[in-house]
Amino acid sequence: MSIYGRLADGILVVHALFVAFVVFGQALILAGLGFGWRWVRNFPFRIAHLVAIGIVVLQAWLGVLCPLTILENALRRRAGEAAYTGSFIEHWLHRIIFYDAEPWVFTVVYTAFAAAVAATWYFGRPVR
């Protein structure tokens, strides 16, 4: 495997960690609010989480691909590998669970998820 292929794999890992932070971060926040875990009210953590989903929603509404997807695909092409079309989530959801949907469906899902994140700010305020 070429260095470009390895870099593309590294970007894929970073992208997956970003997605995990957004999704599992929200699950942990909800669990933590229910169980009284103080760390889930940590202001820098909550700001980072809110900004992360905000970026995803903004890109979806603007119809812009994630820069990580663009970089990974460019590195894969440079390595002589096949790049994929569409967004990271669309591609990997399809690969993992054979789910195919129009981009607007993902925009709605991202927006609803962001609304849930915003609701946790109201019902479980972070502490500075």
Angle at 38 between CA 25 and CA 45, to 5 degrees: 40
Per-residue pLDDT tens over the stretch 20-74:
999 999 999 999 999 999 999 999 999 999 999 999 999 999 999 889 989 988 9
DSSP state of 4: H
Per-residue pLDDT tens over the stretch 69-96:
899 889 989 988 887 777 676 677 656 6
DSSP state of 42: B
